[in-house]
Structure 1
Amino acid sequence: MRETLEKYQVWLYLVAIFTGIGVGSYWQTVQAWAFALWPLLGVLLYATFTQVPLLHISQAFKDRRFMSALALGNFIIMPLVVWGLATLFGLEDAVLLGVLLVLLVPCTDWFISFTHLGQGDSARAIAAAPVLLLLQIVLLPLYVTLMMGEQLVGGHLLSELLPAFLGLIVTPLLLAWLTEKGAAQSAVLKRGVEVMGWLPVPLLAAVVFLIAASQVQLIIESQEMLWQIAVIFVLYLLAAALIGKTLHTLFRLPTASGRTLVFSLGTRNSFVVLPLAIALPDIWAAAVVVIVMQSLIELLGMVVYLACVPRLVKQPR
């Protein structure tokens, strides 16, 4: 049942987004939607982080070639691609912030599901998840600072972003780590962690529904911008696939590991950075729309990835 839920999660999220837009257009009770959103976000982040094997981070380094390719791709090459796209399209202010927040952080949850469905190596994906999560927490503030420069200082963004980052990301992560540590010694907690493994997909569907419903007016007002943003996200997915294929060849990775690498470079941690954007003042509100748009494009892109990645990264003859 859980595997079936994860298999069809793409369509569940898409239905949730479009239903949220429809419902939000009809019942414009933004405050009510936003009020329901924050508890769900907190539970979602906590439940998801408990599924990341934080206590077994050393397992990721058993395959050094794979981890080297993964780190190089996610934290050096793809940030350069993001910087190039942002410069090419002349992004500024809230739109630039949204693009940076969502494209600089590799996914640590549904990329595992897509890796499994796309004939990759799920075990390596699971082992890599805590490394990806911890590195992005350390590097995201640095990358945003470097790429936004004066816009970051001029908009007083740093003083607003850091407290939100610590409260909305670091706190649930620490709670999840304590839960996992307790679960290693308590059968009750261990069972609780297993039950929470069912929660991320339905909770994320509920979250994207509420976000779409609460932000529908802003989405409508930003529709001229959305096409440009959509092009950026499509170009990102194409670049991720090609770079993943290239790194697979350069590092001489096994086929399944190469596919895992492609899915990691292509999927982003949109729901993790979404609370950061939502917590910021209204001047940065467009960043929320950008992140929601990226989620939509990525979900559609993953449908294409599932069909194409096994052909792009083939078994040797």
Structure 2
Amino acid sequence: MQKMTVQWMETHQASLYLVGLALGACAGLLLPAAAGPAEAAILPVLALLLYVTFLGVPFGRFGPAIRDWRFVMTILVVNFLAVPVVVWVLSRIVADDQVLLVGVLFVLLTPCIDYVIVFAGLAGGDEQRLLAATPLLMLGQMLLLPLHLWLFVGAEFVAAVEFAPFVEAFVLIILIPLAAAALTQCAARTRAGRVVVQTATGAMVPLMVATLAVVVASQVAGVGAQLGSLLRVIPVYILFAAVMVPIGMAAGRLGGVDTAGRRAIVFSGVTRNSLVVLPLVLALPAEFDLAPLVVVTQTLVELLVMVVLIVLIPRLIPGRRR
């Protein structure tokens, strides 16, 4: 019975994710007081989701994933060479408003390190190699984000940014769930351990639905209240996703990466680090009080895009996983 339920959820996962988005939107709009608790639940739910994701990654094959230099170099080129050029061009749409510009730059210049692994895996992408590239993606954005902000906004603004939340988010969302998953896999040699792993991995779809719901519920009311000001950034985010899909596909093909790796590269190029950069943007001076909602708007747009890409990417990049 449990196996049939899990199979049913996996078969209908895209529809279930849309239900999660709808439930979150209804809760956030009808019960504004739920926004606070929902926001507090984002990091715990996301950490649990990634723990379950990491349980499905065979750590014994982690070494070869790290040594796949074609994949690693391609994903770094996409995120740190192609993305800044695309972002600079698209950000000209809001360049006359510094607050909107800063929010757009923060979120689009930083590649995702958390739920991209989940979405890529659901579309048949290679979670192992994507996970192996996560430390490099995190280090790259920590080093290059100040440089990009300096080039696009100015040195005075960069001096006002606090980057410590990057490290905190990396530890809470990646390192702790990763270590817990590794320990759980070691315990899976026992019967009780195998039951834990089987139960946890079967909860992937419900956890993703819960993550989508709490993210939307926590932010939809704030976005709705400022919708008039935020409408200008929505085309930027849609265009970014539309442009990065073919760029990721072309880069993977030129880099000689296999099917699963190319799918993962596309998701990495499209998906941004909104949940991690949000604390940085919240710490900006008071005159940038709209910037956090600019970041959150990207999250809401991106979640819808991800649900579409789960279905679309396997068709655009056909073939079996390695």
Query: Does 2:161 correspond to 1:147?
Result: no
1:163-202 equivalent positions in 2, closer than 5 A: 164-187=165-188, 188=192, 191-199=195-203, 201-202=205-206
2:69 equivalent to 1:64: yes
- Pick which of 292-301 and 231-240 moved more: 292-301
- Matched position secondary structure for 1:215: helix
What is the rounded CA distance, in whole Å, between the counterparts of 2:285 and 2:207 in structure 1?
Answer: 25
Contact residue 278 and residue 295 of structure 2 kept, 8 A: no
Shift of 1:51: 2.5
Separation of aligned partners in 2, 1:304 and 1:43:
22
Answer yes or no: is the 8 Å Cα contact 1:7–1:113 preserved in 2.
no
- Distance, in Å, in 2 between the alignment partners of 1:287 and 1:10 is 30
Q: 2:250 maps to what in 1?
A: 246
Structure 1 length-normalised TM: 0.75
Instruction: Specify whether residues 54 and 232 from structure 1 end up closer, same or farther in structure 2 by C-alpha distance, changes over 3 A only.
Output: farther
- Residue 113 of structure 1 deviates from its aligned partner by 0.5
Q: What's the counterpart of residue 161 of structure 2?
A: 158
Measured in 1, the distance between the counterparts of 2:217 and 2:9 equals 23
CA–CA distance in structure 2, aligned partners of residues 264 and 155 of structure 1: 25
Q: Give the TM-score normalised by structure 2.
A: 0.74
Q: 2: distance between equivalents of 1:288 and 1:199? A: 31
Structure 2 counterpart of 1:76: 81
**AA in 2 matched with 1:229:** V
One-letter amino acid of the structure 1 residue matched with residue 88 of structure 2: W
Residue pair 2:161, 2:283 contacting (<8 A) in 1 also: no
Which structure 2 residues correspond to residues 266-285 of structure 1 after superposition, within 5 A?
Answer: 266-270=270-274, 272-273=275-276, 276=279, 280=283, 283=286
Tell me if the contact between 1:241 and 1:266 (Cα under 8 Å) persists in the aligned partners: yes
Whole-angstrom distance in 1 between the partners of 2:46 and 2:27: 22
Structure 2 residue aligned with 1:129: 130
Which ranges of structure 1 fall in alignment gaps of 5 or more residues?
Answer: 117-121
Structure 1 residues 49 and 291: CA distance shift in structure 2, 3 A:
farther
Taking the aligned partners of 1:137 and 1:274, their CA distance within structure 2 comes to 11
- Contact 2:120–2:267 (CA<8 Å) still a contact in 1? yes
- Which residue is 2:21 aligned to? 17
CA distance in structure 1 between the aligned counterparts of 2:174 and 2:206, rounded to whole angstroms: 20
Cα 1:97–1:22 change in 2 (3 A) is same
Check whether the contact 2:18–2:307 (CA below 8 A) recurs between aligned residues.
Answer: no
- 1:152 to 1:28, Cα distance in 2 relative to 1, 3 A: farther
Q: In the superposition, relative to structure 1, how do residues 206 and 274 fare at CA in structure 2: closer, same or farther (>3 Å)?
A: farther
Q: Gaps spanning 5+ residues in structure 2: where?
A: none
| Equivalent position SS for 1:197 | helix
Q: Quote the residue 1:105 is aligned against.
A: 111
Residue equivalent to 1:119: none
Q: Is the 8 A contact 1:179 1:189 kept in 2?
A: no
2:110–2:141: 8 Å Cα contact kept in structure 1?
yes
Give the residue type in structure 2 aligned to 1:213. A
- Residue 248 of structure 2 aligns to a residue in which SS? helix
In structure 2, the residue matched to 1:42 is 44
Maintained 8 Å contact 1:112/1:126: yes
Structure 1 residue 301: deviation in Å? 3.2
Q: Counterpart of 2:117 in 1: which secondary structure?
A: coil
8 A Cα contact 1:65 1:251, kept in partner: yes
**CA–CA distance in structure 2, aligned partners of residues 68 and 46 of structure 1:** 29
Kindly provide the CA deviation profile for residues 129-160 of structure 1, in whole angstroms up to 9, marking residues without a partner as x.
Answer: 2223212321222233123236785487533x
Distance apart, 1:282 and its partner CA:
8.9
Question: CA 1:200 to 1:84, structure 2 compared with 1: closer, same or farther past 3 Å?
Answer: farther
Structure-2 separation of matches of 1:194 and 1:266: 31
Deviation at residue 289 of structure 1 after TM alignment: 3.2
Q: Using the TM superposition, give the Cα deviation of residue 48 of structure 1 relative to its aligned residue in structure 2, in angstroms.
A: 0.6
RMSD value, Cα: 3.6
Aligned match of 2:53: 51
- Structure 1 window deviating more from structure 2 (258-267 vs 232-241): it is 258-267
Report the Cα offset of residue 240 of structure 1.
Answer: 1.2
